[in-house]
Amino acid sequence: MKILVTGGTGYIGSHTCVELIAEGHEVIILDNLYNSRIDVLDKIEQISGVRPKFYEADILDKEGLEKVFAENDFDAVIHFAGYKAVGESVSIPLTYYENNISGSINLYQMMKKYKVRNLVFSSSATVYGDDFEVPFKEEYGLGTTTNPYGTTKKMNEMIITDMDIAEPENSSVLLRYFNPIGAHESGLIGEIPNGIPNNLVPYIAQVVSGQRDYLRVWGNDYDTVDGTGVRDYIHVVDLARAHVKAIEYAASHKGTEVINIGTGKGYSVLEVLHAYEKACGHEIPYQIMERRPGDIAVCYADTKKAEGLLGFKAEYDIDRMCEDSYRFTCNLSKE
Ligand code: NAD
Ligand code: UD1
């Protein structure tokens, strides 16, 4: 298939491009480079042997977007482009709604105009909110989101569902990611955090590379194995492979499917920290702090639907996620 990947130079997008190319798909990337670097294209080429066609374009720019659709005959779109910082979305909600909602609507309108019917959208486990029991199941539906970022994911899910009802030829897969971490085994692509990381593994990586003094562990009085928060961490390469399965599923079905992408297994903050210590070969300093507002105790996926519908099962364990993250972190610090 000829696939447009919006946000394709970003963290999850770049890994997905590598896996799509490996499966013989043609990849065209659209990104405004707001949160990624142009040299990611070199890295994708180094890993896969193919340099994807690239458009430096913004989904908010309708004319620029139309040019990309007019010049290519896409079979499908994988839509990653968007802003993703939870805390920032609370401070600048309109910017988040503009980029993640208006930008997405521009893209969906272009897909309608050019009759591109197959879509995979990056949603998030955040749409479950704090309303349900673990493991989170797709059939629970949408919970109460706690920040504008989460609300943009929920609204996109609703918009796409309505769009597919109006256009029965459409086929969309809404992937609810749990916590993607790790990097490609080559150490060439991974997550490059912008500023002080909010998420756990990017923060640990910066402690290990000497940019931060210690990890602040947000609370150790939850009802979990060691009192620290539990999450379903998934290797970004596993997540990328799920996209290949999802876009192939979309191309052979009609309608809208919501699918969790996680491992189904939760790890506590301290368990992740210890796995990272194993990967880097030394202790990592940390301090227990108060709980972070808005955090939930435990979050992990019910993965049955991904297995049944897509035939997808995550392969890599937490040790591998930390080893690959560490390799990428070492390469970054050499730059
Ligand atoms: P990322 O920031 O690394 O990638 C997003 C890419 O989109 C960046 O390269 C950025 O430059 C680009 N972009 C942003 N706004 C754009 C615009 N208006 N026009 C064109 N390009 C634009 O983020 P990521 O971690 O790869 O996440 C990809 C998607 O997955 C996002 O939609 C994110 O919300 C979602 N998601 C991520 C996580 C996570 O933990 N990383 C979890 C759940 C969902
Ligand atoms: C966060 C977002 C969520 C988003 C997800 C993936 C919040 C409230 N939620 O989820 O919307 O979809 O990232 O991008 O921000 N932790 C520490 N110290 C740190 C960082 C994290 O102890 O410096 C702990 C957290 O309390 C949590 C776990 O590590 O228990 C994972 O945190 P994080 O990586 O931020 O992910 P989520 O909270 O799951």
Q: pLDDT tens digits for 58-77?
A: 999 999 999 999 999 999 99
**CA distances (Å), 178 to each of 133, 238, 324, in order?**
15, 12, 18
d(CA 168, CA 160) in angstroms, rounded, equals 12
Ligand nearest to the CA of 101: 1
- Helix, strand, or coil here: 4? strand
Report which ligand 1 atom has the smallest distance to the Cα of 149. 34
Average confidence score pLDDT of the chain: 97
Which pLDDT score is estimated for 335? 82
What value does the mean pLDDT take over residues 310-326? Answer: 98
Mutation test of ligand 2: which of 178, 179, 233, 299 has the most ligand atoms closer than 8 Å to its C-beta?
179
Distance from the CA of 23 to the center of ligand 1, in angstroms?
Answer: 23
The phi, psi pair for 151, rounded to 5°, reads -65, -35
Pocket flag, ligand 1, residue 80 (CB < 6 Å):
yes
What value does the mean pLDDT take over residues 173-188? Answer: 98
Mutation test of ligand 1: which of 9, 11, 321 has the most ligand atoms closer than 8 Å to its C-beta?
11
Residue 260 near residue 298, CB atoms below 8 Å: no
pTM of the model: 0.98
Q: pLDDT tens digits for 98-147?
A: 999 999 999 999 999 999 999 999 999 999 998 899 999 999 999 999 99
Distance from the CA of 314 to the center of ligand 2, in angstroms?
Answer: 20
Read off the tokens for 39.
């040299």
Residue nearest to atom 37 of ligand 2 (CA): 199
Evaluate the CA torsion angle 40, 87, 197, 232 in order and state its sign.
negative
Give catalytic residue positions.
149
Which pLDDT score is estimated for 195? 86
